[in-house]
Amino acid sequence: MRSCTVAVGLVTTMLLSGCSVGPKYHRPSAPVPNQFKESTEPTAQGPGTSPIAYNNWWLVFNDPTLNELETAADSADQDIRLAVARVDEAEAAARYARSFLTPTISLGASASRTREAQNRPNNGNTFGRASTFNDFQTPLFFSYEIDAWGRVRNSVESARDLHQASEADLRFVRLSVQAAVALDYYSLRENDAERLVLDSTIEQLQQALDVMNHRFHSGLNSELEVKQAKTLLDQTKAQAQALDVQRAQLEHAIAVLDGRAASDFSLPRTPFSGVPPSIPPGLPSELLARRPDIASADRFVAAATAQIGVARAAYLPQLSLTGFAGFESTALGSLFSWQNGIASLGAAALTPVFNGGRTRANVDQATAKYRESLAQYVKTVLTAYQEVEDQLAAIRILSGEAQSEADAVEDAKRAEEIALNRYKVGLVGYLDVVFAETTLLSNQRVATQISGQRMVATVVLVKALGGGWLGVSAPPQLKAKNEAGEKATNPQN
Per-residue exposure over 60-76, b if at least 16 CB sit within 10 Å of its own CB, e if not: bbebbbbbbbbebbbee
Give the residues across from 464 on adjacent strands.
none
Q: What is the largest CA-CA distance in the chain?
A: 139
Domain encompassing residue 85 = 21-103+150-316+357-489
Within a domain: residue 115?
Answer: no
State residue 221's pLDDT score.
76
- The span from the CA of 5 to the CA of 7, in Å, is 5
Query: By 3-state DSSP, what share of the chain in percent is helix, strand and coil, each rounded to 5?
Result: 65, 10, 25
Within a domain: residue 438?
Answer: yes
Within a domain: residue 459?
Answer: yes
State residue 425's pLDDT score.
83
What would you report as the CA-atom Rg of the chain, rounded to the nearest whole angstrom?
38
Q: What is the DSSP letter of 37?
A: T
The CATH code of the domain that includes 405 is 1.20.1600.10
State residue 67's pLDDT score.
92
Within a domain: residue 109?
Answer: no
CA distances from 205 to 110, 212, 440 (A): 95, 10, 12
- β-pairing verdict for 131-146 and 104-107: antiparallel
Its sign, for the CA torsion 389, 392, 394, 396, is negative
Which candidate, 376, 185, 223, places its Cα nearest to that of 297? Answer: 376
State residue 366's pLDDT score.
96
Taking the chain (493 residues) in runs of 10, the rounded mean pLDDT of each run is 44 51 87 83 49 75 92 91 95 95 93 81 61 88 93 95 96 94 95 92 85 80 84 90 94 94 92 83 86 95 96 94 93 89 93 91 96 96 95 94 94 92 83 85 91 94 84 58 54 43
Give the residues across from 329 on adjacent strands.
136
Within a domain: residue 365?
Answer: yes
- The span from the CA of 426 to the CA of 476, in Å, is 64
- β-pairing verdict for 318-329 and 341-350: antiparallel
- The span from the CA of 263 to the CA of 153, in Å, is 53
Give the residues across from 133 on adjacent strands.
114
Within a domain: residue 131?
Answer: no
Q: How big is the CA angle at 61 (ends 485 and 48), to the nearest 5 degrees?
A: 110
Amino acid type, 73: A
- The span from the CA of 481 to the CA of 238, in Å, is 40
Query: Structural domain tally of the chain?
Result: 1
Give the residues across from 140 on adjacent strands.
107, 325
Q: How big is the CA angle at 472 (ends 466 and 473), to the nearest 5 degrees?
A: 115
Within a domain: residue 130?
Answer: no
Within a domain: residue 133?
Answer: no
